[in-house]
Protein backbone atom coordinates (compact mmCIF):
# COMPACT_ATOMS: atom_id res chain seq x y z
CA UNK A 1 0.00 0.00 0.00
CA UNK A 2 0.97 3.63 0.09
CA UNK A 3 3.72 4.45 2.52
CA UNK A 4 6.07 7.18 3.50
CA UNK A 5 9.29 6.14 5.19
CA UNK A 6 12.45 7.64 6.56
CA UNK A 7 16.01 6.47 6.14
CA UNK A 8 17.26 7.43 9.60
CA UNK A 9 15.29 7.12 12.82
CA UNK A 10 17.73 9.30 14.81
CA UNK A 11 20.06 12.14 14.00
CA UNK A 12 22.50 13.82 16.38
CA UNK A 13 24.25 17.04 15.43
CA UNK A 14 26.29 19.76 17.05
CA UNK A 15 24.84 23.21 17.49
CA UNK A 16 25.59 25.32 14.44
CA UNK A 17 25.84 22.37 12.06
CA UNK A 18 23.44 21.88 9.20
CA UNK A 19 20.96 18.99 9.51
CA UNK A 20 19.44 16.93 6.73
CA UNK A 21 16.44 14.71 7.36
CA UNK A 22 15.34 12.38 4.58
CA UNK A 23 12.06 10.80 3.59
CA UNK A 24 11.07 8.35 0.87
CA UNK A 25 7.53 8.10 -0.42
CA UNK A 26 5.89 5.47 -2.57
CA UNK A 27 2.77 7.15 -3.97
CA UNK A 28 3.82 8.81 -7.20
CA UNK A 29 0.38 10.46 -7.37
CA UNK A 30 1.01 12.52 -4.23
CA UNK A 31 0.84 16.21 -5.02
CA UNK A 32 1.63 17.87 -1.72
CA UNK A 33 4.24 17.25 0.95
CA UNK A 34 4.65 18.72 4.40
CA UNK A 35 7.31 18.63 7.10
CA UNK A 36 6.18 18.78 10.71
CA UNK A 37 8.10 19.23 13.95
CA UNK A 38 6.78 17.61 17.10
CA UNK A 39 8.13 18.49 20.51
CA UNK A 40 7.45 16.39 23.56
CA UNK A 41 3.87 16.77 24.78
CA UNK A 42 2.78 18.83 21.79
CA UNK A 43 1.02 18.29 18.52
CA UNK A 44 2.83 18.42 15.18
CA UNK A 45 3.81 21.93 14.15
CA UNK A 46 3.97 22.93 10.49
CA UNK A 47 7.49 23.72 9.26
CA UNK A 48 7.36 23.93 5.49
CA UNK A 49 5.52 22.43 2.56
CA UNK A 50 6.03 21.86 -1.14
CA UNK A 51 3.81 21.01 -4.06
CA UNK A 52 4.73 18.37 -6.59
CA UNK A 53 5.27 20.96 -9.33
CA UNK A 54 8.25 22.33 -7.41
CA UNK A 55 11.62 20.79 -6.54
CA UNK A 56 12.79 23.24 -3.90
CA UNK A 57 11.28 25.62 -1.41
CA UNK A 58 13.00 27.73 1.21
CA UNK A 59 11.83 29.11 4.50
CA UNK A 60 13.56 30.64 7.46
CA UNK A 61 16.61 28.40 8.07
CA UNK A 62 14.80 25.48 6.42
CA UNK A 63 14.76 24.15 2.88
CA UNK A 64 12.70 21.32 1.48
CA UNK A 65 13.88 19.45 -1.60
CA UNK A 66 11.66 17.18 -3.66
CA UNK A 67 13.02 14.65 -6.12
CA UNK A 68 10.08 13.10 -7.90
CA UNK A 69 12.28 10.87 -10.04
CA UNK A 70 13.35 8.82 -7.03
CA UNK A 71 10.40 9.81 -4.83
CA UNK A 72 12.55 11.42 -2.19
CA UNK A 73 11.95 14.35 0.10
CA UNK A 74 14.44 16.05 2.38
CA UNK A 75 14.42 18.76 5.02
CA UNK A 76 17.53 20.83 5.50
CA UNK A 77 17.94 22.89 8.65
CA UNK A 78 20.70 25.47 8.58
CA UNK A 79 22.68 26.39 11.69
CA UNK A 80 20.83 23.89 13.85
CA UNK A 81 20.01 25.10 17.35
CA UNK A 82 19.17 23.20 20.56
CA UNK A 83 15.59 24.40 20.15
CA UNK A 84 15.40 22.39 16.94
CA UNK A 85 15.62 19.16 18.94
CA UNK A 86 12.36 17.31 18.27
CA UNK A 87 10.83 14.56 16.16
CA UNK A 88 10.41 15.48 12.51
CA UNK A 89 7.75 13.92 10.32
CA UNK A 90 7.20 14.09 6.62
CA UNK A 91 3.65 13.74 5.34
CA UNK A 92 2.18 13.37 1.89
CA UNK A 93 -1.21 14.05 0.46
CA UNK A 94 -2.43 12.11 -2.51
CA UNK A 95 -3.90 13.99 -5.42
CA UNK A 96 -7.65 14.10 -5.96
CA UNK A 97 -8.88 13.55 -9.50
CA UNK A 98 -11.55 16.18 -9.02
CA UNK A 99 -8.94 18.81 -8.25
CA UNK A 100 -10.23 19.57 -4.78
CA UNK A 101 -8.30 18.96 -1.62
CA UNK A 102 -9.19 15.73 0.12
CA UNK A 103 -6.88 16.19 3.05
CA UNK A 104 -5.84 12.70 3.94
CA UNK A 105 -2.22 12.83 5.04
CA UNK A 106 0.06 9.82 5.25
CA UNK A 107 2.89 10.27 7.71
CA UNK A 108 6.39 8.85 7.70
CA UNK A 109 8.02 7.14 10.67
CA UNK A 110 9.65 10.21 12.12
CA UNK A 111 13.27 11.17 12.81
CA UNK A 112 14.46 12.15 16.25
CA UNK A 113 16.79 15.12 15.92
CA UNK A 114 19.04 15.83 18.88
CA UNK A 115 21.15 18.98 18.87
CA UNK A 116 24.09 19.07 21.27
CA UNK A 117 25.27 22.45 22.53
Give residues in contact with other proteins (CB under 8 A): 32, 34, 36, 41-46, 49, 51, 89, 91, 99, 101, 103-110
Query: CA-based Rg of the chain, rounded to a whole angstrom?
Result: 14
CB-nearer residue toward other proteins: 40 or 69: 40
The least CB distance from residue 16 to other proteins, in Å, is 29
For other proteins, the closer CB: 18 or 114? 114
Q: Residue 117 in contact with residue 88, Cβ under 8 Å?
A: no
Q: Least Å distance between CB 90 and other proteins?
A: 10
Q: Which is nearer to other proteins, 57 or 68 (CB)?
A: 57
Nearer to other proteins, 97 or 117 (CB): 97
Which is nearest to 13 in space by CA: 77, 75, 60? 77
**HSE-CB for 48 with a 13 A CA cutoff:** 17
What's the closest the beta carbon of residue 42 comes to other proteins, in angstroms?
A: 5
Minimum distance from residue 59 beta carbon to other proteins (Å)? 13
Give counts: helices (H), strands (E), the chain.
0, 11
- Count other Cβ atoms within 10 Å, centred on residue 68: 14
Amino acid sequence: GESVGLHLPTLSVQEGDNSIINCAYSNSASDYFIWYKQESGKGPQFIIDIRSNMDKRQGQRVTVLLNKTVKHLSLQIAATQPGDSAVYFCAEKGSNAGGTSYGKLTFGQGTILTVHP
